[in-house]
Amino acid sequence: MAVVAALALGCGSVHAQSTPVGASQQGGSPQAAGEQAPDASKAKRLQAVTVTGSLIPQTEIETATPIHTITAEEMKARGFTTVAEALQQSSFATGSVQGAQTSGSFTQGAQTLSLFGLPVGFVKYLIDGKPMGNFPGLYNGSNVFNNLSGIPMDMVDHVDVLPGGQSSLYGSDAIAGVVNIVLKKQIDAPTIDVRYGWHKDGGGADRRISFADSFSAGKFNLLFGTQFESTQPIWGYDRDLTSQFFTQGTSAPTASRDFLVFSPFSGQYYFEDPNNCANVTGLFHGTEGKRTRSGGRTYCGSFATPGYKTITNSDKTANLYTHATFDVSDDLQLYGDLLYNYEEQKYAVGSGFTFWGSSIDYGAYYDPNLDDFVNLQRAFAPEDLGGYQHTMNKQYENSYMLNLGARGTFGQSNWDYDLGFTHSDDKLLQRGWNRLAGPMDAYFESRVLGPQQGLDPYYGAYPVFTPDYAALYQPISVADMNAMTTYTDTFAKTWDNMLRGQLTNASLFPLPGGDAGIAIVLEGGNQGWSYVPDPRLLNGVIWGTTDVQGGGHRSRYAATTELKLPVLSQVTLDLSGRYDSYKVLDQTVSHGTYNLGLEYRPFQSLLLRARYGTAFKVPTLSDEFQGLSGFYDFVPDFANCARLGFGPADIGNCPAPYDNTQYFGQQSGNPKLQPITAKVWSYGFVWAPLGNLSVNVDYLHWDISNEVNTQSALTLSTNDYLCDIGTLDANSPTCQEVRERITRGASTTPGLLGQIQTIYTPKVNVSNEQVNAISAAASYVQDIGAWGRLTFAVSYSDVLKHTRRAFPEDPVLDLLRSPFFSTDFKSKANGSITWTPNEQWAGTVYVNRYGRSPNNVAATTNDYSAPSAGKLPAWILYNASVTYKPTTKLGLSLLVNNVFNKMPPLDRSYPGTSGSPYNDQNYNVNGRAMYLEAKYKFGAN
């Protein structure tokens, strides 16, 4: 019990469990001596309902499948402003994820989460039990995933989270777990809800309004709701930590290099401005000036450039939801649901992605006056652009999900049926502000570089220029900037059709513990994905930027069976199996999964449970159909370093650029990929010794194989070296593959190979992963008499093991001790206390504890023993809310998030060159937010 208490109090939420764990239509306590026997004719059969995690209606509150539920009322009371936020702050969301703060990512306008540090695509998202459509953009430029940012919070009834593999019921993707977002099906009166919010330190002002109503006309019932929300962005300059370069790090704050002449080979700076930056001091709102770095390296720069990016997006969202039913007869009901979302977002990636440099076009150029190979760099200031707010990237998303169907019962039998059709559609337009290569190069060539004067005298490979450097240190007019920039439009789309039929019999035949139940499901449909970038992003018209591309579709079918067998009064077995098959081009990709669940109730208040099964994830449409797409990265050129006398163990002494060569990477999908597979199991207990107390603890395990990864550029470069020195036969398949994958330029130095230019890394099934974790929760309700009622809820998760092997030849990485490869939180805990003194007042305090995570030095060196390396302390945030109902019709609420305005843990291991000295995939600098909300019910008594 001490261990359980420690786990629970460490510390989201589960439903308060007000009935014993074993209570069911068959359960009950023995008759006391002398007590009159109950009248069986007056016994009331408990209503069986279908819950997430089972297809068979049942009466038990807890089953063999752990389930965590958070209601709409709990989300509001705890200060969550979106469904995405509620899930991301849950205790089991321990993994680091990209979001709005991750400048330059492919999906800066999307929200997702990672359960127990597993990949974001390993979660199955459902809306009312039906698969949610995929987001058309690619997470990290590679993976299809689900976007949670468009779910209308005021339309949500509750959210169920099932950790662990669930593929035997829900099919592909359900490896890490399942999230089922259940929308409202009824309301008791027309309701309008208005909310306004703001942040203590500025930015992020939020306005939201929603309206919902329902009516009936005979056998027809309709619920409809709409929600509109508008949120202003938070800019880096709105927060002290992101408004300038870090002032408390390992070095003094270091200004950005906005006007720079430098040698890429020696690292030497040349300060060539005869006016000592005087002509540009008005840029970046007057913060530009002459700066010096270590070694006397002088240039023009600013300490304030980090502030010119958004850390939260500008966001406008409109939602429409309808739920309709028509009762044809007592045994047949027609139903239809529509959820529509329109979302418009804007964001700025900052000056770090808004510049021109000569290295992209030339690598370097030779200046005979300097007798050196040099490059230019020129950052664009707000004054050049007419303000960064006029150059924000934009994202427009239109999505909807439509369900149509019929359900009922076959006559007087116990057989229920549900036949439905689901169609989801998501269209995405990404409008990016970009630089035109031709006009921009022409601008700097005509004003600064001057005409090319042949090739350099040393290698005969680099162009020769004698620039007018004074012309570099000048502002650029907005008109000139507009002439060399543009917006590019990338269109993406996903769609999914599914026809689904289900037969259910909750009383198939009697067993000693009650009636056996069965559910049989058949599904069929097709799905597609398309990603069409602006062609200028791929043909060189756009400067310094590329994109992904691709598209394809496939058909699929699946069959599922679940059996619930109460073999004894205390023992219930749950068996499920599923077979999925996908038709991909001219081949079929199929996989079967199963699950064995055991529930043992030695007495009413205690449930011991265990599950063992398999799960899978079919290759995503982007994994299979992504076209040839590009990116930039770095890799050691082992072959050339070896020719220079530096082996792989001495690569740190190999001269530039061979020690870490920048290359243009290319990758594409692979329609021959096989499914990702997993073995999953869990065991735990639920204990409810009192009607107002419930505790659950579960241990979960995943063993995942055949994960999709791009082929390793590092491995290809290593094999290239082994082929070059003859360790591997030049005619072997490995060396042939190397020659196909690596493209080099012409050799300019005797005895050396040409420099690596491109590396092709297709997707392959190669990676393996294992995770062990504990998930625990408790809830307690205490009546305090005239003072009302107190409700407590706590939740805790701890990742005990997380290992990964990216490629078969690699060692197994312990991600809990390899901070370069994982900065996930090992543990998360949260808890809430709600005081309800009477029907008019209610108040909640919510605390969320993010566990320790590696600091910057540990993450960059992958070594906790390195100087200054270590872990950051836990990050603890408090939310509070109070609601007052002056009448039964009106509710007024004040919500305060991050009550104490806590910033991320101070990480002094960041250098003074950092403009965001915190892990933006773990923490945020939003600070304290306050919301006023009014909810009015028309016609309520």
The pTM assigned to this predicted structure is 0.88
Confidence band, pLDDT 50/70/90 cuts, at residue 932:
very high
Burial (CB count within 10 angstroms: exposed 0-12, middle 13-18, buried 19+), residue 334: middle
Q: Does residue 482 register a pLDDT over 60?
A: yes
143 DSSP β-pair partners: 139
What is residue 285's DSSP assignment?
H
Query: If you average pLDDT over every residue of the chain, what do you get?
Result: 90
* Position with higher pLDDT, 15 vs 434: 434
3-class SS at 915? coil
Closest by CA to 550, choosing from 633, 493, 489, 619, is 493
* % of the chain exceeding 70 in pLDDT: 93
Mean pLDDT computed over 782-802: 96
Confidence band, pLDDT 50/70/90 cuts, at residue 633:
confident
Query: Buried (b) or exposed (e) across 814-832, using 16+ Cβ within 10 A?
Result: ebeebbeebbbbbbbbbbb
Residue 693 one-letter amino acid: L
Closest by CA to 169, choosing from 450, 578, 763, 604, is 578
Q: What is the pLDDT of residue 60?
A: 65
Confidence band, pLDDT 50/70/90 cuts, at residue 103:
low
Give the tokens for residue 96. 């680091």
Q: Does residue 29 register a pLDDT over 70?
A: no
CA-atom Rg of the chain in angstroms: 31
- Three-state DSSP string of 137-154: EEECCCEEECCCCCCCHH
Q: Does residue 258 register a pLDDT over 70?
A: yes
Mean pLDDT computed over 385-389: 92
Residue 127 one-letter amino acid: I
Closest by CA to 246, choosing from 902, 900, 906, is 906
Q: What is d(CA 236, CA 304) in angstroms, rounded to the nearest whole number?
A: 10
Q: In Å, what is the CA distance from 911 to each residue of 249, 288, 819, 918?
A: 5, 21, 18, 11
Tell me whether the omega of the peptide bond preceding residue 657 falls within 30 degrees of 0, making it cis.
yes
Mean pLDDT computed over 82-97: 93
Q: What is the pLDDT of residue 48?
A: 57
Mean pLDDT computed over 173-202: 95
Q: What is the pLDDT of residue 43?
A: 36
3-class SS at 349? coil
Longest CA–CA separation in the chain, Å: 112
Q: In Å, what is the CA distance from 212 to each residue of 155, 227, 559, 936?
A: 8, 9, 37, 11
Q: Does residue 536 register a pLDDT over 60?
A: yes
* Position with higher pLDDT, 19 vs 317: 317
Q: What is the pLDDT of residues 539-548, one digit of tens each?
A: 889 998 888 8
